[in-house]
Amino acid sequence: NTPPLCAIEILSPKQLLSDLTEKVFDLYHPSGVLSVWILIPPLNTIHIFNTAKPTLTFTSGKAQDPLMNIEVEMSEIFV
């Protein structure tokens, strides 16, 4: 089985950010997922964890994942 290149998680009101972060490093990256986006709706924030760079955090403008070559306007995600 080939893992996906990218995964997206949305933090729910009952989840802890630390639980999702742990999932990135304990599940996603070890299984071969190269990039994981965690969306935090109440804060209009995206954290991008990838295997090639330190964690990227975006709160406005464009969220950019250089490893996946993806660019998304934050205003298109959080309306």
**CATH code for the domain of 40:** 3.90.1570.10
Convert the pLDDT of each residue in 3-29 to its tens digit: 999 999 999 999 999 999 999 999 999
Global pTM reads 0.93
Is the confidence at residue 32, as pLDDT, over 90? yes
Asked if the structure places residue 1 within a domain, the reply is no
Q: What are phi and psi of 75, to 5 degrees?
A: -65, -20
Asked if the structure places residue 10 within a domain, the reply is yes
Write the DSSP symbol of residue 41.
Answer: G
The number of folded domains in the chain is: 1
Q: How far is CA 23 from the centre of its chain?
A: 11
Domain residues for the domain of 71 are 6-77
Element at 77 (helix H, strand E): helix 74-77
